[in-house]
Structure 1
Amino acid sequence: MAEYRIDDLAREAGTTTRNVRVYQDSGLLPRPQRRGRVAIYTDRHLRQLRAITRLLSEGFTLKHIMKFLTGLQPGQNLVDVLDLSDLEELVTAPWSRPEPRTMALAELEERLGQLDAAMVRQLIGQGVVAATADENVYAVTDVRLIDDFAALVSRGMPLAIVLKTTASVDKKLDAAAREMTRGGHREVVRQRGAGWLPTNESELAWAADLVDTMRRAARRLAHASLDRAFDEAVRAELHEYQAAGKAQTGSETADEREPDGDATPDGPRRAHDKRTKPR
C-alpha cells in the first residue's frame, strides 16, 4: 500500500495541504497514522480526498459529503443516512453560483434610477430582489444581474422595458428546462422503472451522475442555442430596421420631388400655363 506525506497527498489529489487539514478537522478525512512527528497517509486517504474534491467541484455541499463519508455505520446502507428530503436536496442543488448581496433602496436607485413602490414589487416578483426585516433594505439575488440591468439603464433603456423583456425570456427558458427535466425523468423510468428510488450508494451515485450530466449538457446547449438564436435575431432585426429606413427615406424623397400643380389625366402634375394666347 502506497504511503504519502501531506504535501504529496495534496498534490496527487489536485488540492492543497490547507484543504487536507480542513477536511480532517471537519471529520471528512480520517486522521493519518503517526510515525514520530511525521503524518502518514494511505491510498484510502487519497481515494477519499479525490472523492471530496470531485463532489465539491460538481456542486455538492459539505453537508452532503459529510453524510456520504461519515454517516454510514456498520450494517447501514446509504438510504438509512440520506432520507428522501436529502435525496431531493442532492439532485436539486443549485447549478448556478449567484453572488448575493444586501443593498439599500438608495443604492439600488443609484444604479437603476428612481424606484417607486410598483417597480420594487416587480423586482421582487421577478426574483431580482427580496424584502428583508429592515425597511428599505433588500436582499439582491445576484449582484451581477443588478450590474447588467444598470448597464442597460445607463444606455437609456427604461428599467420597465428591461424587466418586461427578461420576464418574457425567463418564461421561455423555464419551458426549455422543464422539457430537459422530463427527458431525464423518462430515462430514469426507462432504465429503472416507474417509482424507482436508489437503495444503495452505487444507485444514488448513478442518479446524481445522470442529473449532473443532463445539467451540463443542457447548460452548454442553452448557451450555444441562445448565442446562435441571438445572432440570427440581431441580423433579422437589423435587416428590418434598414428596410424600414430605406422605405421612409424613399417616401420623403418622393414628397420633396413632387411640385405644385394639377395632375393631368394622362400625365404627372404640370404647372398652370399663365401665358396668354396671341390674338
Structure 2
Amino acid sequence: MEELAEAAGITVRTLRFYRERGLIPPPRREGRIAWYDDHHLARLRTIAALLERGHTLNGIADLADAFDSGRDVGEALGLVEPTEETPVRLTPEELADHFEGEVTPENLAKALELGYLTVDGDEIVHVSRRLLDVSAALVREGVPLSAVMEAGGRIREHAEALADLFVEVMLKHADGAADVERLRPLAKSVVDAELSMAMDRRLAVPPPGGAGRD
C-alpha cells in the first residue's frame, strides 16, 4: 500500500479512504501480503484527473463501479447517446498502440467525459470506428490528442445544433420519424458539402500581388 501511494503521489490515508469508498478494486492477497499492480495505479491516476476536472467522489464512485461491473461508463456519466457508428473493442494495450504516448490519465478522463470511450468488462469500447481512425491519423500527423478531443467537443456543439435544425425541418415537412431516418443521409450530404466549401474558402490563397494586377 505504501509503495502504491508513493507511486500515485497520494498519502496512505487517502488510499485507504479510496479503498473504503470502493474507488479502487481490492488487492490480490497472498497470506498477509496485499499486492497492488499497474491497474490500481492507472485507476488512481484517472481518479486524480477526474477530480481536477471537477467530478465529485460520488460521481467517480459510479464510474469505478462501471469499470468493475462492466457497465457502460458513458451511462455512469450520463453521456450515452444513440449512434449509428460502429463501436470498436480494444484492450488497453491496443488503445495505447493507436495513440502512442498520448494515452495519459488526463486524456483518458476527457475521452470518458466526452463519451468516446466506455468499458465492457476487461475491454475498452470506442464508440466510433471512424472517429478512432481519424483521431489516430491526426495524432500521427503531429496533432496532440488533447487538441483533437478539444476540437471534437467544440464540433459536437455545432453538430447538435445542426441535428436539431434538420430534425425540426424534416418533422415539419415529412410524415414522421420513419421518414426522418430515411432522409438522414441527405442531411449528412448537405453538411459534408457545406463543410467542404467552407474549407475551400478558408484555404483559398489570393494570387500574388492581388487580383486584377499584372
> TM-score, length-normalised on structure 1?
0.40
CA distance in 2, matches of 1:147, 1:212: 26
**CA distance 1:132–1:178, shift in 2 (3 Å):** same
* Cα offset, 1:133, TM superposition: 2.5
CA distance in 2, matches of 1:230, 1:155: 19
Match of 1:107?
A: 94
1:213-224 map, 5 Å: 213-224=182-193
CA distance in 2, matches of 1:99, 1:184: 25
State the one-letter code of the partner of 2:146: A
Match of 1:252?
A: none
* Cα offset, 1:101, TM superposition: 2.0
**Does 2:182 match 1:182?**
no
State the one-letter code of the partner of 1:170: R
* Cα offset, 1:208, TM superposition: 4.7
* Cα offset, 1:213, TM superposition: 4.5
Note if contact 1:124-1:131 (Cα within 8 Å) is conserved in structure 2: no
**CA distance 1:109–1:219, shift in 2 (3 Å):** same
CA distance in 1, matches of 2:182, 2:86: 24
Match of 1:139?
A: 125
Q: 1:167 aligns with which of 136, 153, 160?
A: 153
**Does 2:137 match 1:130?**
no
- Give 3-state SS (helix, strand or coil) of 1:113's partner: coil
Match of 2:105?
A: 117
What do residues 242-263 of structure 1 show as CA deviations (whole Å, max 9, x unaligned)?
9xxxxxxxxxxxxxxxxxxxxx
- Give 3-state SS (helix, strand or coil) of 1:146's partner: helix
- Give 3-state SS (helix, strand or coil) of 1:181's partner: helix
What do residues 43-69 of structure 1 show as CA deviations (whole Å, max 9, x unaligned)?
xxxxxxxxxxxxxxxxxxxxxxxxxxx
Q: How many matched pairs?
A: 127
| Structure 1 residues without counterparts, runs of 5 or longer | 1-92, 189-205, 243-279
> TM-score, length-normalised on structure 2?
0.51
CA distance in 2, matches of 1:181, 1:208: 9
- Give 3-state SS (helix, strand or coil) of 2:89's partner: strand
Note if contact 2:171-2:180 (Cα within 8 Å) is conserved in structure 1: no
**CA distance 1:217–1:101, shift in 2 (3 Å):** closer
**CA distance 1:217–1:144, shift in 2 (3 Å):** closer
- Give 3-state SS (helix, strand or coil) of 1:168's partner: helix
**CA distance 1:143–1:210, shift in 2 (3 Å):** closer
* Cα offset, 1:172, TM superposition: 0.6
Match of 2:179?
A: 210
* Cα offset, 1:186, TM superposition: 3.2
* Cα offset, 1:174, TM superposition: 1.0
Select the structure of larger CA radius of gyration.
1
RMSD: 2.7
* Cα offset, 1:139, TM superposition: 0.8
CA distance in 2, matches of 1:133, 1:170: 28
Name which structure has the greater RCO, CA cutoff 8 Å, separation 6+. 2
* Cα offset, 1:171, TM superposition: 0.9
* Cα offset, 1:145, TM superposition: 1.9
* Cα offset, 1:150, TM superposition: 1.3
State the one-letter code of the partner of 1:155: E
**CA distance 1:132–1:181, shift in 2 (3 Å):** same
**CA distance 1:147–1:177, shift in 2 (3 Å):** same
**CA distance 1:154–1:215, shift in 2 (3 Å):** same
- Give 3-state SS (helix, strand or coil) of 2:176's partner: helix
